[in-house]
Every structure is written in C-alpha cells, then in structure tokens.
Amino acid sequence: MGRLVHLDPDQQRVGLVHAATNVVAVSCYAGALAQRAKGRSGRLLSLAGLAISSVGATLGGHLAYHQALGANHADRVGDLGPADWRPLGRVADLPDGTPVRRDAGEMSVFVLRRGTHVTVLADRCPHLSAPLSDGQVVGTDGDACVVCPWHGSEFRLDDGAVVHGPATAALPRFEVRVRDGQVQARLGSPD
C-alpha cells in the first residue's frame, strides 16, 4: 500500500479495482472449494471466480501496458548507449559535487565529479524518465546517492542500485576514464 501513494490518480483507481477483483476471485474459489468439501459441485462459484479473475487480469494488463506501471523507462539504455568511448568534455569544466547533463552520442548522461572521481550514469530515471541530472546528491562516499527530482527515488552513485523507490529497476552506469584531461565514457558491461 505504501507504493500506491507514488502512483498517478488514474493508476491508483485502476490498481485498487484490480486488487479488489483479485480478492473477490480468490473468495469465490475458496467458496467453491468449501462447497466441494461438502459434496456439492461449487461450479457456479468457480465460474464466477474465473470471470472476475479475467477482469482482474485485463486490468493488470491495462496497468502494465497502457499506463506503464512498473515499466523500466531506462531499459533501452543497454541497447542505445555507446559501446565505444565517447568524449564528455574537460574534467576541469565539471563542477565539484553538482551533477550536469552531457551527451554521449545519441544519449544524455548524468555526470558527477566528486574531487578527482567522475561518475557517469544514465540520465533517465527508470521510474518515469525524469532527468536525474536535475536531482540532488545526498550522502557521502559509498553511500552517496542521487535523488530523482520528480518522485524521490534514490539511486546509489557507485553502481546505480535502487536505494529507495518508487523506481524498481537500477540505473544503468557507464565506464569512465580520463585521457588528456578529457572525460570519456562508454556503456559498462552488465554485471
């Protein structure tokens, strides 16, 4: 229920009806089972359970495929991100501790310099595609995270892992190197 507050009102409405239909369908099947235990057929309750669970399944499909609930909006980064090294500008031009957006080929990336260390992640929140370079950096060292500016998901800078939702998928990260003062990045191989 805690995650429900992060949904759009439309998604909340459909989600509640979806949950209710599943509860009613399970109750119908439980009633049919009880009737069979008493030697009756329980067919009517079984058919009602089937009809109601079909409605629930249709609503679940609507939530997933039409309203994109739970979809990973950064999933295509692995297909579209650059496999070869792409220049992201001079390391000296990156502000210390403040994320910026850069283009790595066709893709926007989140770039953060902390001292001499540069982190590059996808700039698209897996939840609903917010630009994470507009987000805030919190924490320090291995616990440092970027907080999504739209709904507050937190992703660990070191590996892109989700620390707090509503996002459920990790943020793709990039390999980084510095050559002649220039930052370069390419898509890291999947762990």
Contacts to ligand FES by CB under 6 A = 125, 127-128, 130, 148, 150-151, 153, 166-167
Q: Which residue number, 124 or 186, has a Cβ lying nearer to ligand FES?
A: 124
- Say how many C-beta atoms besides its own lie within 10 A of residue 6's C-beta: 17
- Expressed in angstroms, the distance from the first to the final Cα of the chain is 32
Beta strands across the sheet bearing 162-164 = 136-138, 145-147, 154-156, 162-164
Measured from the CB atom, the residue of 43 and 76 that comes closer to ligand FES is 76
CB-nearer residue toward ligand FES: 36 or 151: 151
Q: Which amino acid is at 58?
A: T
CB of 157 closer than 8 Å to CB of 115: no
Residue among 59, 70, 61, 65 at smallest CA distance from 19: 59
d(CA 178, CA 20): 55
Measured from the CB atom, the residue of 55 and 163 that comes closer to ligand FES is: 163
* C-alpha span between 190 and 177 (Å, rounded): 18
User: Do residues 34 and 26 make contact, with C-beta atoms less than 8 angstroms apart?
Assistant: no
Nearest residue (CB) to ligand FES, 21 versus 153: 153
